Structures are given as structure tokens and as C-alpha cells.
Amino acid sequence: MKIAVVGTGYVGLVTGTCFAETGNTVTCVDIDSTKVNKLTNGEITIYEPGLEKLFLRNLKEDRLHFTTDLAAGIKDASIIFLALPTPPGEDGSADLKYILGVASQLGTLLKTDDYKVIIDKSTVPVGTAEKVNAAILESAKKAGVNLTGAFDVVSNPEFLREGVAVDDFMKPDRVVIGTSSEKAKKLMGDLYAPFVRQGNPVIFMDERSAELTKYAANSFLATKISFMNEVARLCELLGADVDMVRRGVGSDDRIGKRFLFPGIGYGGSCFPKDVQALVKSSNEVKYDFKILNAVMEVNETQKLHLFPKIKNYFKGDLKGKHFALWGLAFKPNTDDIREAPALYMIDALTAEGATVTAFDPEAMNNVKKTIGDKITYAENQYAALQGADALIIATEWNEFRTPDFLKIVSTLKNKTIFDGRNLFEVSAIRELGFHYESIGRAP
């Protein structure tokens, strides 16, 4: 099939590359000419394990193309994905200006005798497919063309996770397709057939239900995390161990083992934005989504849950104290620092007069661009420890999980670790003589 993907951000690039990988010819369109040039020349623009290999192979085999020209990009395509940003507006609702802008342009480009399916891949509020449909028809009408029947708008939300995006895309748990058109349904079913050979479901539904499915899924996962973060707080107060409680609870199939890890809050570009947007959508129809308000509140405070512990340990005075910080990305295997708990930690520490030296395997450049020399940056995880009064762990990169403790002991000033991701066994680390504080477990 011939496919166009409009928007070469995270979702767009993964989508384009993975569809090329199953033999389709894909043209990715983006207004950013620097990005398009880089991609055309084989330079990948995002960090995502496993993507570069696929990207280069499909580029070489001429199945993957990049252009800034929307008209040329969509000309031969029967399927057009919109993978455009939906940043939160001032009131928390998703801003649709990019999506509707492209929809209006499509209205002037589509032809009455060349049926195409337009797909919303971005996370968009309920009712967006209808708005995209209307924007296309409206701009065509202005140009004197009636495009009714010449296209369908489908909602096909993406459920991939950063860091494992290729695997999530190639082997999805499910594919959700929202459309009321039989023609679009057939095309979409064929397109996704190679991805669900193991039998995972392609779930067809109406457009509105598909749009809500995406928000409900992310909000539910965020709720699971905030719930466990509250259980962890309670464990600290009641003298229980959240690791044990997590295992006991998660072994029930109805609850499941995943997304029950407490920590210093969820971050990233999706959960915070999507939970907020669903609350906003609910408010618009005069529904008070009480649980999600609590989820957001818990997450806000959770990001700084370690901070009072650190302050207490240093008897309320952090002035002149120096901290090593392991992890800046909002989670491992990404260089994404959007809503990263580490950044909140840095703000809190430096506001009290402390200094920070950080190390992250991938995210340091992004942090340098954002906060510059507010902190210093180390070449590796051990160099960050030099002269530090304590080590703080904010992201669970694998390489932090079994570190050389002798090196830590010989480099840190104090044998003190504050762990926001519960990486170590409490008893084992205590035996090594560390003062160790984590989340939901006895110090």
C-alpha cells in the first residue's frame, strides 16, 4: 500500500518506519525542512532503541521517503496518517490547531475520484474525527468542490511506549480502529493484518469510542501508578513494605503485575497531558471525573516525595550540600525529559542552596539545553559521585541496578542513597553500611 504520514515526531517516525518495514511505501511529510533533510540523509532525529536499524534499511530499500511538500507526499497515498502534536492549551485541553490546519489543506488537495482514508493517529479528544471531517469538507467547499464520499476519517490511536516503541508497534496488544465506513474498515484491516498474526485483536468501533479508548487507557495506567504511590506512602506510615504488597496485589490476574511500581511520580509527554485533557473534556460535558483529579494531585506531590526525606536527613539545611543525581530522563531508554521528576528534584534542591552533579546515559544534552549550567554534568555514573554528600536516583536505567558499590563507597562523601525508583534490596544495601531511603519501604 502507499501511505503518507504527516508529522515526523515520535509517533509519526515510528509509524512510518514500521509500516515501511512490512513492505508498504511510505512518505513522511513535515514542515520542518531541517528535519526532513536530516531524515532523507539517513540521520535519525529521535532516540529510540531498535528504530535506527529499521529506518536505515527501509530508507535504503526505497520504501521510506521524506518531504516538506504535503501535496506531493499524499498524491499517490490511499492512506494518510496524521501524527501531529496536540500540545495542551492554557486550560489543559488538547490544542487541535496543527491537525485541523492540515485537514484544511487536505480539503484543497483531495480529489473527488481518488478515495483516501485520513487517520487520526495522535491522541485527540472525543469528537476530533468529526472536526477533521468537517474541516476537510469546509475547505473543499470554499474551493467549489464537494468531497462527500471521497474520503473517510478514521480514529486509530497509538499505544506505543517510548523506549520499546518498535516492539509495541510491530507486536501490538491490540489495534483500535474507529470508523463507521465499511470501505475504511477493510483497508485498515488489511494494513494491520501483518502486525496481528499472533492473533491479537483488531478492535473495530465507532470514532468517538476509539478516541475515548486512548484517553481511558492512559488515564487508567496513570491511576494504577498514583494508587500504588499512595499505597507506598501508607506503607511508610504503617511499617509495611510496598515491594511485598505490590507482589501480593499484582499476582491477582484481575489486577496484573505491570504498572504497579511506586516511585517519584509518572512523567513524560503522555500521562500528565492526557489525564489533564480527559478531566478537561469531562468538565466540558459537566462531568466531574473525581478519580482523575486525585490522580493528578497525588502525582504532583509524589514528584517531591523524596525531598523532605533528604532535607530531614540533613537536619533541615541543604545549603552548601552537594548531590549526585543518577537519571534525568522521565523513564529509562529515552532521552525525553518532559515532566521528568528529576527536574523537579533539581529545582527543589537548588532552591535550598544545594548543588547537583547529574549523569544520564541519554538525556544530558536535552537537560543542558533546558537548564544549562544550573547543575553540572558527569561523564559517567561514578564521576557524578565525586565529593557528593549523597546519591539520589531518579530514573531506573538498567546500568544503575547493579552498580559497583565499592566504587560508590570510595567516591561518595557519605554512604547515603535516596532512591526514587526502589532499585536495591533494602537489607542488602544496609549490610553494606549505607543509609538508604526509598519509596514505601523502611529506611
Pattern 328-347, ligand UGA, x by CB under 6 A: --xx----------------
- Applying CB under 6 A, the span of 87-95, 141-149, 253-261, 401-409 interacting with ligand UGA comes to 253-261
Q: Which lies closer to ligand UGA via its Cβ, residue 94 or residue 412?
A: 94
CB of 19 to ligand UGA, least distance (A): 17
CB of 1 to ligand UGA, least distance (A): 23
Task: Select from 102, 94, 124, 87 the least CA-distant residue to 29.
Answer: 102
Q: With 0-12 CB in 10 A as exposed, 13-18 as middle and 19+ as buried, what is 250?
A: middle
Applying CB under 6 A, among 17, 58, 123, 128 the residue interacting with ligand UGA is 123
Determine if 260 is a binding residue for ligand UGA (CB under 6 A): yes
Determine if 259 is a binding residue for ligand UGA (CB under 6 A): yes
Residues 356-415 that bind ligand UGA (CB under 6 A): none
Which residues, including other chains, have CB under 8 Å from residue 194's CB and lie 6 or more apart? 22, 23
CB of 162 to ligand UGA, least distance (A): 4
18, 28, 235, 270: the active-site residue: 270
Q: Which lies closer to ligand UGA via its Cβ, residue 133 or residue 438?
A: 438
As a whole number of angstroms, the distance between CA 1 and CA 88 comes to 34
Instruction: Measure Cα distances from 346 to 326, 340, 376 in Å.
Output: 12, 10, 11
- Applying CB under 6 A, the span of 196-204, 258-266, 315-323, 361-369 interacting with ligand UGA comes to 258-266
Nearest 5°: the CA angle 22, 24, 29 is 120
Determine if 172 is a binding residue for ligand UGA (CB under 6 A): no
- Applying CB under 6 A, the span of 94-102, 236-244, 264-272, 359-367 interacting with ligand UGA comes to 264-272
Applying CB under 6 A, among 139, 213, 218, 281 the residue interacting with ligand UGA is 218
Task: Select from 353, 174, 336, 208 the least CA-distant residue to 266.
Answer: 336
Residues 127-166 that bind ligand UGA (CB under 6 A): 158-162
User: Chain centroid to CA 225: how far?
Assistant: 15
CB of 261 to ligand UGA, least distance (A): 3
Q: Which lies closer to ligand UGA via its Cβ, residue 73 or residue 327?
A: 327
Instruction: Measure Cα distances from 270 to 94, 123, 169, 215, 222 in Å.
Output: 11, 9, 17, 10, 10
Give one DSSP letter per residue of 153-210, joined into a string: EEE------TTSHHHHHHS-S-EEEE-S-HHHHHHHHHHHGGG-TT-PPEEEE-HHHH
As a whole number of angstroms, the distance between CA 244 and CA 238 comes to 14
Q: With 0-12 CB in 10 A as exposed, 13-18 as middle and 19+ as buried, what is 187?
A: buried
CB of 336 to ligand UGA, least distance (A): 8
28 is catalytic: no
Is-contact 79 191, C-beta < 8 A?
yes
Q: How many residues bind ligand UGA (CB under 6 A)?
A: 20
Residues 408-437 that bind ligand UGA (CB under 6 A): none
Question: What is the CB neighbour count within 10 angstroms for residue 54?
Answer: 20
Q: Which residues bind ligand UGA (CB under 6 A)?
A: 123, 158-162, 218, 221, 225, 259-261, 263, 266-268, 270-271, 330-331
**Which residues carry out catalysis?**
270
